[in-house]
Amino acid sequence: MASDIAWTEGPTLSAWIYHSPRGAAAGTVRLQRLSQKGAVVVVDAATVTWVRGAHRPRLGRPQPGTVPGPRRASPLGVLLERLVRADGAAADDLARLAAELSDTGMTVDFLRRLRDDLVPDSSALLVLSLAADFDEVQLVIERGRARGDVQLAHVHLGNEGLAAIEALARTGAASDD
């Protein structure tokens, strides 16, 4: 887990990927507790839940107040929508998305891993954070990893990366109008 130390250095996107459709809901409760304790400063959070038998996963927003403004799109909601929509399976779509997010450190391989882990009977919690107390977060993640019910993927964004994800949200909101 030494690579997780990047969480303390600035903006980070983390994905907590669960092997059950209810895992993201439990992860949301844990994230809210960490946030209340001041262990993580959340900018945005989004969930995706895919119940077996459903044609598409369901996207959610566990902390509706994290992104100010009634018309402002959730950066992670837009990212998830691009990853899970029907035409998002094409390699060209992933390459195009990675190019739009080139300043974030999110590579095609990182995005593919996220997309490929979003399968029926699974869920994920994506968290965009400014800072985190690694020791506090590590306790939560280690318990889930010990049970084998959660995988963690994360990328350190840097200041340019945070701006790129917010630009993606503005672009996504404009295309929805």
pLDDT in tens, 102-135: 888 899 999 988 988 889 999 999 999 888 777 7
- For the entire predicted model, the pTM comes to 0.82
Supply the pLDDT for residue 175: 58
| CA–CA distance, 83 with 10 (Å, rounded to integer) | 24
| CA–CA distance, 107 with 86 (Å, rounded to integer) | 21
Lowest mean pLDDT among 38-42, 142-146, 149-153: 142-146
Domain count, the chain: 1
In order of 24, 134, 144, 156, the CA distances from 10 in angstroms are 23, 12, 24, 7
Instruction: Look up residue 51 and give its DSSP letter.
Output: -
Q: Are 98 and 107 in contact (CB under 8 A)?
A: yes
What is the span of the domain harbouring residue 67?
Answer: 2-176
